[in-house]
Amino acid sequence: MVQQITPDELAKRLRSGETIFLLDVRQPWEHEIVALAASRLIPLNELPERLDEVDPPKGVPVVVYCHHGIRSLTGAALLEQAGHREVYSLAGGIDLWSQLVDPSLPRY
Residues 6+ apart with CB under 8 A from 62: 20, 21, 23, 54, 56, 76, 79, 84, 86, 87, 88
Number of structural domains in the chain: 1
In a domain, 108, yes or no: no
The domain containing residue 12 runs over which residues? Answer: 3-100
Percent of the chain with pLDDT over 70: 100
In a domain, 49, yes or no: yes
What local confidence, expressed as pLDDT, does residue 1 receive? 86
In a domain, 105, yes or no: no
In a domain, 56, yes or no: yes
CATH number assigned to the domain comprising residue 10: 3.40.250.10
- Residue 38 pLDDT greater than 90, yes or no: yes
Mean predicted confidence (pLDDT) in 20-40: 97
- pTM given for the model: 0.97
